[in-house]
Chains A and B, each alone.
Chain A
Amino acid sequence: MITGAEAIVRCLENEGVEIIFGYPGATIAPLYDKLSKSNIRHILVRHEQHAGHEASGYARIKKKPGVCMTTSGPGATNLITALATAYMDSVPLVAITGQVSSELLGRDVFQEADITGAAEPFTKYSYLVKNAEDLPRIIKEAFHIASTGRPGPVLIDIPVNVQQQRFDFAFAGEVNLRGYKPTIKGHTGQIKRVCKAINNAERPVICVGGGIFAADGQGELQRFAEMLNIPVVSTMMGIGAVPTQHSLNMGMLGMHGKSIANQAITDSDLLIIVGARVSDRAVLLPANVGKNTKIVHIDIDPTEIGKNLSTLIPVVGDAKEILIQIMEAEPDRKSEDWTDLLKAKKDKLELDYAPRRSGINPKAFVNLLSKSLPDDHIYCADVGQNQIWSAANCEVRTGRFLTSGGMGTMGYSLPAAIGAKIADPEKTVVAVCGDGSFQMHMMELATICQHGVDVKIVVMKNNKLGLVKEIQKKSYKNNECAVDLTGSPDLVSIARAYGIPGQRIDSMDSADGAIAEMLSCKCAYLLECVVDENESSI
């Protein structure tokens, strides 16, 4: 006989869990007690939301579910934003929350919150465990559900008495969920139709989203695009699926994307969407897509196909598998003029990298920064103007670009970077944020110090919530309100207070030197870049 808490630890070990990001509390105390005796490393965060984001950064790099753990009530509700962020971007998480004793459920006792109810719209699935005997099966199912099909967060809410309950432990057998059988292989008939459409297309474009990373199919995508010489545009979540400097990569589409990418979509006669949701930020108006454009939509989640854009050829399944199937069917494309035309247009694009009168040029800076980093670096962009500067100007070669795409969660970059660095300590990991977003995650500087996490932090400081300021300028007659960040601390001093070195630069002249110093530092580093408040995002 062992306790529920011991059973959880055994099951987590059995799932290969090495790291848990968490924050303890009364109702999760039995599990912490047993966890401390296991080989699983616990990363103590400074706010539960960041436990979720760190698990998310970890999962995206490690390609397996990230695990986070909090107590009941506020600990659990603080996790919701992270769950929603992971849900929107299809990141596999297993979130474990403590809960009040099961016989007290529903009586509004201290630190009781209906977290399975509250998180329901933001989780792929959730469990409220009533009996410890169910734990082995539930944990096994949770990891299976989180990591297969379209990945997503799964919540397991475990009352404190269930953690203490003693029972005869046995590992669960194979997962058998009759209502959950994700489709992996594409339908052969549909594959044939895709090939025919490619053969007949004169102006095909591939639009790639985050699904390609979930399928681990970046190599196949590049091979597919190269084989048929088809230009590629990406959503924000798809950045880096094909290296940003690849000749076929026309950049990010959408509201904040490159005009050439949007134009390519409008002019195309065949749009092959791979693992993307066609969200409003990517395809502002489905009308933007040319009237004569045929749509092929490849996605593992059938609900995404036809939701926002009417689709001629839906193909449900794993993006990597389907791309392989299509290539094996040997489509053949004759006309090459279209690709050459786009390539020529792309070469003529002018980049706005000129020096600024005051402050650095953030677009030139992120470009320089990414060029200075190793090819396989991990670049974590926050949300706001900084996200758009990064998305449009950073070079992703063989590494990854991580950001909160669907939810647009400010304060994501640093915790995601921490998770990514812990997942792959060999990689250089940078978090690029604004001074608004930095102040939403700066408590994690303590987590960095406590656990010796070497992440490089770049803060674009303009003393404003720049993107909102831009919206106010454009749509609210320049009525600037609630966007001034006066009162913010000196960020370099804040870093220093944590023992993290750093410096401030206010001109591109010092950018090279500052980046070199940051990268040569063997520990975390904070680089504050002064940006003029009127700098635009595009």
Chain B
Amino acid sequence: MKHTISVLVENKAGVLSRISGLFARRGFNIDSLAVGTTEDKNISRITLLVDGDDYIAEQVTKQLNKQIDVIKVRKLDRDEITRRELVLVKVKMSVAQRGEIIDIVKIMQGEIVDISHTTLTVEMSDKPEKIDLLVELLSHYNIVEVARTGTIALQKGAEIV
């Protein structure tokens, strides 16, 4: 089972290393980890996707809370959050394939952000499942590079972490 965990941490050197080290040491499987600043420049938000049962999710939450630099930890309910991920996919294609790829990107509501004689770079921001689908569809062509940001999430409505 996948758990989305939102963590607010002090924005200072060494924090990310402490947290990623914690996961390695305790054998937690992290699917994705996205870090960025927040409305307060002294605080960063880490959004984690953790694979495991409820025991693992509880352990991850508790171990994170134990860290001195961790200000807040919240396990987010999948149905009550807005999740987004950004992807860039570079596809190598022949001129004949170009139209097909553009069609796929249009249907998926992605965007072509770069083009050359032999490649197209597609950008899309959406739920991780939609990103997976895009990558799957494009994999029928020659994908040469993929960059994904990892999931970020916020609670719906007025709720905050």
Contact = CB atoms under 8 A, between A and B. Distances in A.
Interface of A: 116-117, 120-121, 124-126, 128, 145, 177-180, 301-303, 306-307
B25 A121 contact: yes
Given A302-B65, A303-B62, 18 more contacts: A120-B17, A120-B18, A120-B21, A121-B21, A121-B25, A125-B68, A128-B13, A128-B14, A145-B68, A179-B10, A179-B68, A179-B69, A180-B68, A302-B62, A302-B66, A303-B63, A306-B55, A306-B58
Contacts of B9: 179
A111 B10 CA distance: 31
Interface string B64-82: 0111111100000000000
A117 B13 CA distance: 12
B14 A116 contact: yes
Contacts of A126: 14
Point out which of B25, B62, B70, B71 has the most chain A C-beta atoms below 10 A from its C-beta. B62
List the 5 shortest-distance A-B pairs measured between CB atoms, nearest first.
Answer: A303-B62, A179-B71, A180-B68, A125-B68, A179-B70
Nearest to A306: B58
Interface of B: 9-10, 13-14, 17-18, 21, 25, 55, 58-59, 62-63, 65-71
Contacts of A180: 68
B62 A117 contact: no
A181 to B, nearest CB: 10
19 contacts: A116-B14, A117-B17, A120-B18, A121-B21, A124-B68, A126-B14, A128-B14, A145-B68, A179-B67, A179-B68, A179-B69, A179-B71, A180-B68, A301-B66, A303-B63, A303-B65, A303-B66, A306-B55, A307-B59
B62 A177 contact: no
Nearest to A305: B62
B17 A303 contact: no
A128 B15 CA distance: 12
A113 B120 CA distance: 46
A511 to B, nearest CB: 46
Nearest to A177: B68
A223 B126 CA distance: 61
A116 B18 CA distance: 10
Nearest to A121: B25
A152 to B, nearest CB: 11
Contacts of A302: 62, 65-66
Contacts of A178: 71
A307 B63 CA distance: 10
Nearest to B22: A121
A303 B63 CA distance: 6
A498 to B, nearest CB: 41
A156 to B, nearest CB: 13
A144 to B, nearest CB: 10
Contacts of B67: 179
Contacts of A116: 14
A145 B67 CA distance: 11
Contacts of A120: 17-18, 21
A48 B62 CA distance: 33
B3 to A, nearest CB: 16
Contacts of A125: 68
Nearest to B13: A128
